[in-house]
Amino acid sequence: LNIVVLPGDGIGPEVTGAALDILEAVSRSEGIELQHRDYPFGGAAIDACGQPLPEETLRACLASDGVLLGAVGGPGYDEAAKRGAPRPEQGLLGLRREMNLFANLRPSRLYPGLEAASPLREEVVAGTDILIVRELTGGLYFGEREEGTVSALDRLPYSAEEVERVARAAVQAAKGRSGKLVSVDKANVLATSRLWRMVVDRVAAEEGMEVEHILVDAMAMYLVSEPSRFDVVLTENLFGDILSDQASAVAGSVGLAPSASLSDPGRPGLFEPIHGSAPDIAGQGIANPIGAILSAALLLRYAIGAETAARKIEGAVEAALAAGLRTRDLGGRATTMEATKAVLQQL
């Protein structure tokens, strides 16, 4: 297993470090030969070589079996960008496009014992286990822009092909779960949402799967009022960005949520916690490493089909949380290192 690690900015290096500790332990016990190497990316790469996605980093990612990413961005880079510097986020968007990572899987699940960490009432949040499938290489993120100080324009383009391939990924995921598929759009306003709805209906019919369509504003409501009624939720790029962050907060903390960004079969994926670079706590050793650790589990599952190894990590995380592991974002005091040790112990 040959992986590329992109620690990135802020708490990125701290959480990828923790995830690597876990990956190494599981690889040893499962007989997986693990090779990994760090590459500069994001703000760190801007500092090192003036651009957020250096050519060498991209080449290594494309040649790997999978990429483990920490986080990118920070207020210093925002300031510099106002004066014309590149943004760390451009590196992330560039990597998503170059690796053709069109299907972004973002699970949000309430872990047993963590009921009290959710801002929602226990009876509302109990049983919540959502998989958001977010389209990741289209829409407003990749439409042509017109920057300006008098007026500006962003474009939201989608092709039927782009919708179809991510819809198939969502149907596939739903088949492996409860079989309930919800698709979220804004079809009462947007042309791309009407295209989206038409294609999703066609794919679902072909696959013999029922699909319920929900408008994005209503979905933002339901994710708060009845999160446990959802299973697989398919949506476009920006709606997925918003709803997956919301879902992670519902399930207790954004610090717990992993993600897998996948391309066509046989091509490498990218695995990253959904949290940001959290500049306010960077360098203090207190970041929650669980999102990154669970992303490493997804890497094992999707990169080399190492289902047993992936489950071992997920089981160890669940056991550690059930045994009382709580980082600060969960109202506890465990440091990044203590959290990592707690998971290692359960392994």
Active site residues per annotation:
141, 186, 217, 241, 245
Return the SS3 of 56. helix
- Please, what is the minimum distance in Å from the beta carbon of residue 228 to ligand IPM? 23
Cβ atoms 297, 109 nearer than 8 A: no
Cβ burial, residue 273 (10 Å; 0-12/13-18/19+): buried
Among 121, 188, 266, 280, indicate the residue that binds ligand IPM (CB under 6 A). Answer: 188
The answer on whether 288 is annotated among ligand-binding residues is yes
Among 36, 168, 180, 194, indicate the residue that binds a copy of itself (CB under 8 A). Answer: 194
Q: Does 48 bind a copy of itself (CB under 8 A)?
A: no
Q: Does 73 bind ligand IPM (CB under 6 A)?
A: yes
Give the x-and-dash track for 259-298 against a copy of itself (CB under 8 A): -----------------x----------------------
Q: Does 189 bind ligand IPM (CB under 6 A)?
A: yes
How far apart are the C-alpha atoms of 286 and 338, rounded to whole Å?
9
- Please, what is the minimum distance in Å from the beta carbon of residue 68 to a copy of itself? 21
The answer on whether 277 is annotated among ligand-binding residues is yes
Looking at the Cβ atoms of 47 and 201, the one nearer to a copy of itself is: 201
Looking at the Cβ atoms of 7 and 73, the one nearer to ligand IPM is: 73
Among 35, 159, 178, 345, indicate the residue that binds a copy of itself (CB under 8 A). Answer: 159
Residue 264: CB atoms within 10 A of its CB come to 9
Strand positions, DSSP E, 231-340:
232-235, 260-262, 269-271
What are the b/e assignments for 78-106, b being 16+ CB within 10 Å?
A: eebeeeebbbbbbbbbebbbebbbbbbbb
Applying CB under 8 A, the site for a copy of itself has a residue count of 61
How far apart are the C-alpha atoms of 302 and 65, rounded to whole Å?
10
User: Residue 296's closest CA among 249, 258, 245, 336?
Assistant: 258
Looking at the Cβ atoms of 249 and 344, the one nearer to ligand IPM is: 249
Instruction: Give how far Cα 64 sits from Cα of 55, 57, 343, Å.
Output: 14, 11, 26
Closest residue to ligand IPM: CB criterion: 89
Beta-sheet pairing, 260-262 with 269-271: antiparallel
Q: Does 245 bind a copy of itself (CB under 8 A)?
A: yes
Cβ atoms 300, 306 nearer than 8 A: yes
Q: Does 98 bind ligand IPM (CB under 6 A)?
A: no
Q: Which does 160 bind (CB under 5 to 8 A by kind): a copy of itself, ligand IPM, none?
A: a copy of itself
Place of tokens 């690889």: 27
Cβ atoms 160, 199 nearer than 8 A: yes
The answer on whether 59 is annotated among ligand-binding residues is no
Among 56, 79, 154, 210, indicate the residue that binds a copy of itself (CB under 8 A). Answer: 154
Describe the crossing of helices 290-304 and 307-322 by its angle, rounded to 10 degrees.
160
Binding residues: 96, 106, 134, 217, 241, 245, 276-288
Rule CB under 6 A: which residues touch ligand IPM?
73, 89, 92, 188-189, 217, 241, 274
Rule CB under 8 A: which residues touch a copy of itself?
73, 78, 87, 89, 93, 119-121, 124, 140-141, 143, 145-160, 186-192, 194-195, 198, 216-218, 220-226, 238-239, 241-246, 248-250, 254, 276
